[in-house]
Amino acid sequence: MTAMTDASVAKTPRAIRDEMIVFVIMAGLLLIVPLTGIYPFFVMQALCFALLACAFNLLIGYGGLLSFGHAMFLGTGGYVTAHLLKVGAISLPYWRGLWFTIPFSPLPPELAILGGTAASLVLAVITGYVSIRRQGIYFAMITLALSQLLYFIYLQTPFTHGEDGIQGIPQGYLFGFLNLSNPTILYYVVLAVFLFGFLVIFRTINSPFGEVLKAIRENEPRAVSLGYKTDHYKLLAYILSGTLAGLAGALKVFVAQNASLTDVEVSMSGLIVLMTLVGGLGTVFGPVVGAFIIVAMEQYLSGRFGQWVTVIQGVVFVACVLTFRRGIIGEISHYLRRSL
Amino acid sequence: MQALYDHIHAFFGPALYAQLLVGLINGSFYALLSLGLAVIFGMLNIINFAHGALYMMGAFVAYFLLHLLNIGYWPALIIAPVVVGIFGMILERTMLKWLAGLDHLYGLLLTFGLALIIQGVFQNFFGSSGLPYSIPDELKGGANLGFMYLPIYRGWVVVFSLVVCLLTWYLIERTRLGSNLRAATENPTLVRAFGINVPRMITLTYGLGVGLAALAGVLSAPINQVRPLMGENVIIVVFAVVVIGGMGSIMGSIITGFALGVIEGLTKYFYPEASNTVVFVLMVLVLLVKPTGLTGRAA
Amino acid sequence: MTMRNKVSALLLGTALAFSAGSAAFAQDKTVKIGSLSDQSGLYADLGGPGSTLAAQMAVEDSGLTAKGWKIDVISGDHLNKPDVGVNIARQWFDVDKVDVIVDIPNSGVALAVSNLVKEKNGVLLDSGAGSSDLTNAQCTPNTIHWSYDTYTLAHGTGTALAKAGGDSWFFLTADYAFGAALERDTTAAVQAGGGKVLGAVKHPLNTSDFSSFLLQAQASKAKVIGLANAGADTTNSIKQAAEFGITASGQKLAALLLFITDVHSLGLNTAQGLNFTETFYWDLNDGSRAFAKRFQERMKNHNMPSMVHAGVYASLLHYFKALEALGGNPHDGAKVVAKMKEIPTDDPLFGKGSIEPNGRTIHPAYLFEVKKPSESKGPWDYYKLVATIPADEAFTPLDKSTCPLLKK
């Protein structure tokens, strides 16, 4: 199976040093955002999606698996966190109409985020077990259908409030003293989590585990013949990707103060793919750039163009696939012959 | 004993048969759509994400034929699929061709983008309220079957879909043209050496698949409002159908389409809350047991 | 004039305008209106671009721009998603300095934005959503609910039909806030009128195939099938109900929320005989006809105004009256809303009415029936008036309202 990403740039220590430099520059730029006049909510939302896109990119760019259902992790992380923040109790159905409830009061933000991420982890393990059996297009279709299955479940489960979503979520105090209702504090918290997630992915890519993943992506039969249990590696990558996507979803709840069905829809999965495609599949910083561009597009174009935004997104999709396959960072990286 | 008998009798009562029949009607749409998808996938190895949008275009073309050119339902059944099929062939020639040598996932992404464009454009011009398209006079009214009142049009849908599905299956699996098509996808170089114009075969195949989608659209126009988003929800269920039936197997998709429609109907009777998830649950179960689908070829 | 003279004239004119303007700014006479609607989906024809047009017409008709006020109208598309709606609203308040939001068809979005509007101390004049919760459990001092709510529809259609012999009901409900509220209010109205509800089935929003739900409704043998949904869901259910011979076999269809745009898309053949409640019809009186004619000319698709569009127009006219009474725009939502509640409402579209302390606008409602094709004289001539429901019966009586604001 031909790889979707450009493998012509090798990972040397110099390459990793280049990437670290760009990382520092990126972190620096993001740190000073509250001092500029940019609307912080926009950047926060972009950061959440950037984390999501990076998690997705881990799977496709380094594992070679296109998941068309990553929205289910975003949504699960979001819904569970929102529920834990607002209501607290966990109710699980064990028969038609009968529920088994563990009551407890609403959790503080840090526990709620952990809860949301844990739920995504569980989901990733279950769906990964089913999906990893197939590759390529089949994998994409299966993840798509699984995410649609979850969409319908969320539509009907009472705790999500269906079409209305979970509204008016309190932001609370992180660790008891960080007031998340203050936009500046919230911004730095979001930035911190994003940088943490990004570093986790960065370390994974540049570790022995990451190298095996890349080998599997390039030529799976050869990796198998070398003795690697490729299914295990792919499953691990999937679980990591799903968990981080869930973390992004949990984070987004604090920014948007609601969790709704939009986060679990197919169009959201498509948007995630678009972000990574525009930024550059398989590049380290591509998803971040792509996320910012797409979020900006949604925010600022929808006022002017209304319904045409979907068409514009479709055109960007088509253009990227036909002529701009490496994405923005991919093209820059290829031109500079450096690893980005 | 009488109570048990009554219970069983009530179980197999008219409501059940009615839901089964409704399920069969829905199943015929699933079958037609998954047939088009299976043809395109089996022959071209492309997942046609734009299938739902093309289904919608078929319905719209039928609407335009009626309201702009006064061409009724019966000619529309032929004209609309041809028009949309040509549109599909143009798409294939101009865009999909470029992706010929690449990873198949690019084809999926391209058709996804195309679906966004087509649906977005139609939404802009036609809003979302839906345009009316009435059932042709010859098919109006219904028959009282005892356990339910069956609109004649819906009965026609089942019969016509079955005929089209069988004809397509025959065309692909049993005729020379079909075997040329199948050979061309399995080994294009060799087939080209025989003098057969492979690129043209591929374009024609895509056109055929698209035409089938448009035909489903025309069939559905009198029942559902003609809306830009009408293909969006149905397409994912059809993907699940194709995965269950075995990607690329023509007969598999047809049978699975009808079967799933019936199963969905049964679920609506016993456990209505699960009716829109049952297809996906089934898909997961099938994948766990037989990853290539019920009748599919190996990956 | 030479080029240089033209430029000088332009500069002089601009300078004069600025000086005139700055004099006005001393008493803040700027207003920014945001029309938040569904511009491209299920409710685009009910609200959508028509609401933006209605808002602009209200601005023009108020005569305030001539008096030195600067009023802008912007619009947004909430895509029927509460989080998109809240995001747009939040940005409107934080960045664009919007003062008042109008329209919002879709109860889920309206309830979410209503909470945000209270937090930002803006104003919400909702004429699109139906949920009566906006003036009951979820009322705020910053929201006024115009045009209609589920209580109006339930009591108009529900009580009238229950009295006329439709004493057993089965509901087809859209699975979201509005559908649930509609079913709840109509059930109450039916039971108060002596009828009973035999059952209900919930369908997801934007369903295209209602056959199995309709079959269940048929099997229930209820005399009336209540459609607790809106937009394309309602028109699809009506169309398919006709197909399955439900209306022919004696069961009555009650479209609990039907707009003129729905009747237009169904066509009189399918829609004839349907009974439903609305609070505005373009052909009702001279005032409404005049407005409708001007509206239709300027609408891209030449649709007639719906009850929602009329509500946007009327609510903004009243809002401007309050601002004039206050002498300027205090940019304090609760203050303006309190002033609006003091002044009785009077406009050519809804006639005379008033605003209750819980934010509910009171005016008469009308029970209409769709004309037969033979009775209609032309396009958009669809309704005949069956009964007028006086204002005090058409909306939740204050003593039954669960609004926390009332408990002082």
pLDDT in tens, A207-260: 889 888 888 888 888 888 988 888 899 999 999 999 999 999 999 988 888 888
pLDDT class of B54 with cuts at 50, 70, 90: very high
Which two tokens mark A191?
A: 């930035």
Residue B299 has what DSSP assignment?
Answer: -
CA distance A95 to A98: 5
Residues of chain C with C-beta less than 8 angstroms from the C-beta of A261 = 81
Say yes or no: B8 contacts chain A, CB-CB below 8 A.
Answer: no
Residue among B236, B271, B287 minimizing CB distance to A144: B236
Domain assignment present for B170: yes
Of B109, B236, B239, the CB nearest to A321: B109
Q: Smallest Cβ distance to A313: which of B116, B124, B276?
A: B116
- Report pLDDT for C1: 43
The candidate with the shortest Cα–Cα distance to C299, out of C46, C64, C102, C70, is C46
Q: Are A286 and A328 in contact (CB under 8 A)?
A: yes
> In total, how many domains does chain A have?
1
Task: Give the chain A residue nearest B298 (alpha carbons).
Answer: A134
* pLDDT over threshold 80, residue B258: yes
Radius of gyration of chain A (CA): 20
The pTM (predicted TM-score) of the whole model is 0.83
Answer whether residue A68 is part of any domain: yes
Contact residues, chain A, for C80 at CB < 8 Å? 163
Does pLDDT of B53 surpass 90? yes
Mean pLDDT of chain A: 84
Domains of chain C: 30-148+284-362 (3.40.50.2300), 153-278+365-393 (3.40.50.2300)
Cβ(A51)–Cβ(A275) below 8 Å: no
Asked whether residue B95 carries a pLDDT value surpassing 50, the answer given is: yes
Question: For residue C377, what are its two tokens?
Answer: 């004289």
Asked if residue A145 belongs to a domain, the reply is yes
Does residue B175 lie within any of the structural domains?
Answer: yes
Structure tokens at C338: 């309190």
Q: What is the pLDDT of residue A98?
A: 64
At residue A1, the pLDDT reads: 34
Q: What is the pLDDT of residue B83?
A: 93
Q: Where are the alpha helices (DSSP H) in chain B?
A: 2-11, 14-44, 51-69, 73-94, 104-126, 152-174, 176-186, 188-193, 198-220, 230-245, 250-270, 278-289
Q: Alpha-carbon distance C212 to C224, whole Å?
A: 17
- Helix-strand-coil percent breakdown of chain C, rounded to 5? 45, 20, 35
Mutate which of B232, B237, B287 to disrupt the A interface (most A C-beta within 10 Å)? B287
Q: How far is B46 from chain C (nearest CA, A)?
A: 28
Residue A3 has pLDDT above 60, yes or no: no
pLDDT value, residue C16? 42
Residues of C in contact with B268 (CB under 8 A): 212
In a domain, A338, yes or no: no
SS3 C66: helix
Is residue B283 in some structural domain? Answer: no
A145 with B280: Cβ contact below 8 A: yes
Whether B268 is in a domain gets the answer no
Contacts of C264 (CB under 8 A, 6+ apart): C303, C304, C379, C380, C382
Which residues of A fall within a CB distance of 8 Å from C90? 41
Number of domains in chain B: 1
Q: Which pLDDT value is given to residue B299?
A: 41
Spatial CA neighbour of A127 closest among A269, A258, A253: A269
Helix (H, G, I), strand (E, B) or coil at C80: coil
Kindly state whether C285 is in contact with chain B, defined as any CB-CB distance less than 8 angstroms.
no
pLDDT of residue A115 exceeding 60: yes
Q: Domain of residue B176: give its range.
A: 17-230
Given A156, A165, A303, which is nearest C82 (Cβ)? Answer: A165
pLDDT of residue A121: 95
CA–CA gap between residue B85 and residue B65 (Å, rounded) = 16
Residue numbers in chain C where pLDDT is lower than 50: 1-3, 5-26
Q: Is residue B190 part of a domain?
A: yes
Angle of CA points C48, C53, C55, to nearest 5°: 100
ipTM over 0.85: no
Domain membership flag for residue B77: yes
Domain membership of residue A308 (yes or no) is: no
Cβ–Cβ of B124/A308 closer than 8 Å? yes
Model confidence over A296-312: pLDDT tens digits? 888 777 666 666 778 88
* Letter string b/e over residues A54-66, b meaning 16 or more CB atoms within 10 A of that residue's CB: bbbbbbbbbbbbb
Q: Within a domain: residue A301? A: no
Helices in A174-282 by DSSP H: which ranges?
183-205, 208-218, 220-225, 230-256, 266-279
Q: Which domain holds residue A235?
A: 38-264
**Chain C CB within 8 Å of residue B18 CB:** yes
**Residue A166: inside a domain:** yes
Residues 6+ apart with CB under 8 A from C287: C347, C348, C349, C351
B241 pLDDT higher than 80: yes
